[in-house]
Homo-oligomer: A and B are copies of this chain.
């Protein structure tokens, strides 16, 4: 029996998933063909089905991978750093290298249950990390509130990207930072119901 080193196939699959991350975020799910996705990884279309059952399978894997990577990146940053980096001009102008939610959210919403499942699981890991830092005593109750701040950030980035007026788009980002920090601030003084 002549087997390849186990790593080879795994490494190739990993490479496909990683390059697919950028391509999908840049051109969208429907906008990215399998031939292109494979070419990005230095392969041809025929090899695709040795690694994935279908395009949907690749999308689900890629979404999961993108969220894993995002989670790791955030583990080394404070919440305020995350907010300011997320709603930065650099992030807005780098769709391919940025947040998968902002780039793909409404296509994910239209996707199959398996893709939405991958998205939900991957995002929950990120949210729960943040919730644990926000309310170490009761992270469970902070989960939904953290979702709220995250959704605000995603929506703001998307709106900023869709606006044809650059100055307005910049202002929207800045406003988003204020709003996100305000909600996080209100978050940290939990018990006192009012000011």
Which residues from chain A sit less than 8 Å from chain B, CB to CB? 26-28, 30-31, 95, 101-110, 113, 116-117, 119-120, 123, 144-145, 147-156, 158-165, 168, 171-172, 174-176, 178-179, 182-183, 186, 194-195
User: With A and B bound together, what is the CA distance between A160 and B119 in angstroms?
Assistant: 12
User: With A and B bound together, what is the CA distance between A106 and B103 in angstroms?
Assistant: 6
Q: Report the minimal beta-carbon distance from A108 to chain B, rounded to whole angstroms.
A: 5
**Given contact pairs A30-B30, A106-B102, A179-B183, A151 touches B144 in the complex (Cβ within 8 A):** no
* A162 interface neighbour in B95, B108, B155, B165, Cβ under 8 Å: B108
User: With A and B bound together, what is the CA distance between A31 and B110 in angstroms?
Assistant: 10
* A106 interface neighbour in B28, B119, B195, Cβ under 8 Å: B28
* A151 interface neighbour in B105, B158, B178, Cβ under 8 Å: B158
Residues of B within 8 A of A108 (CB): 162
User: With A and B bound together, what is the CA distance between A94 and B12 in angstroms?
Assistant: 40
Residues of B within 8 A of A120 (CB): 162-165, 168
5 CB contacts below 8 A, A to B, read A120-B162, A147-B159, A151-B152, A151-B176, A158-B158
Q: Contact at A148–B119, with CB atoms within 8 Å?
A: no
User: With A and B bound together, what is the CA distance between A28 and B31 in angstroms?
Assistant: 11
Residues of B within 8 A of A119 (CB): 162-164
User: With A and B bound together, what is the CA distance between A105 and B93 in angstroms?
Assistant: 15
User: With A and B bound together, what is the CA distance between A150 and B155 in angstroms?
Assistant: 8
Q: Report the minimal beta-carbon distance from A190 to chain B, rounded to whole angstroms.
A: 14
Q: Contact at B116–A163, with CB atoms within 8 Å?
A: yes
User: With A and B bound together, what is the CA distance between A142 and B191 in angstroms?
Assistant: 31
